[in-house]
A and B are shown apart, each in its own frame.
Chain A
């Protein structure tokens, strides 16, 4: 299966990014082949709706699971519509999170914060 994680840098030493919608990159890790790919998050610099665009990117990447510290309600809606499960990261280290997920130690994310609404007229 494919696991997606928002990251600060395009390396396996990178920390997990505190934000999902505005993370600069996503790691897509294939648990079967152990391949890791980094994709750009074009939503990072969007004024509004970043979570939605980021979620669309995750859906298009064919990931099955998202590991993230937090997630907005709009992004969650997109991900759930695509049957992608969302789990809360346990630490900032990528490897620890993947291991914890595989060991079924991670909890699913249940509370979603309201979106970053933008005001009209920019």
Chain B
């Protein structure tokens, strides 16, 4: 089963939850789709890393064939082309690889070449397979990397697959949850937490994904997220208490389930709850 972990806001505990669930499930796959700021590998410290470059197509001009008509410059919606002193300049960072300029060129002066926008690292730690997507700084989009991360082979390698999503609700998040069987929404029980939870709540509903909420950094009182979930009839999968010790371990890059039985039990219990929820949804949607 493929479980996507997301949140509307950064810093709520997506990586904490996805890394520790993968660790406690033992034989699992952890996929880091937060390609701009992948952090999961800092916790796993995977070994035997294989790397794969992710390529996109970028236009290349043959200046001898180019007649300066500027049809390509005018066509490009992303301003990735400029024509200066009888030379066409391509701004690779801005190119969306749509192929439009190549189509509109009347003299076939434009061809495509491949460019790397980032890479995927595949490694293991114990029985956990760790896939990390890394977008090169300055590149326009992480979507091609995420598409390559979430291929069939990776999603079905192990019984459990956990997808650590980018924060927010933009296209990279949508791409990350597209093939998930279930979504875990991680939220902080604060005013900001509720507000941002609402955004991803709308997103998972739009995609018709079954989901539940994990409330992280809970203090004794004032659980605004709890109230929100109650009102909207949303399943609360777990409430992780605010815990200084857990915070210190996590901030030092430690996988907490490996450090203290208390945390191991907490995440095992969460894993069981999630597995049950997924099975429930499968039987109700596929009777």
Contact = CB atoms under 8 A, between A and B. Distances in A.
Are chains A and B touching in the complex at the 8 Å CB cutoff? yes
Interface of A: 43, 46-50, 52-53, 55-56, 59, 74, 77-78, 81-83, 114-115, 117-122
Interface in B163-188: 170-172, 174-175
A117 B82 contact: no
Contact residue range for chain B? 20 to 34
A50 B91 CA distance: 12
B73 interface: yes
Contacts of B83: 56
Given A78-B84, A82-B84, A115 B79 contact: no
A121 B91 contact: no
Interface of B: 73, 78-80, 82-85, 87, 89, 91, 93-94, 96, 138-143, 170-172, 174-175
B84 A59 contact: yes
A63 to B, nearest CB: 13
B79 A43 contact: yes
Nearest to B79: A49
A118 B78 CA distance: 9
Nearest to B138: A117
A111 to B, nearest CB: 17
Contacts of B91: 49, 52, 74
Contact of A53 (B79, B170, B172): B79
Given A74-B93, A114-B138, 8 more contacts: A50-B79, A52-B79, A52-B82, A81-B82, A81-B84, A82-B84, A121-B143, A121-B171
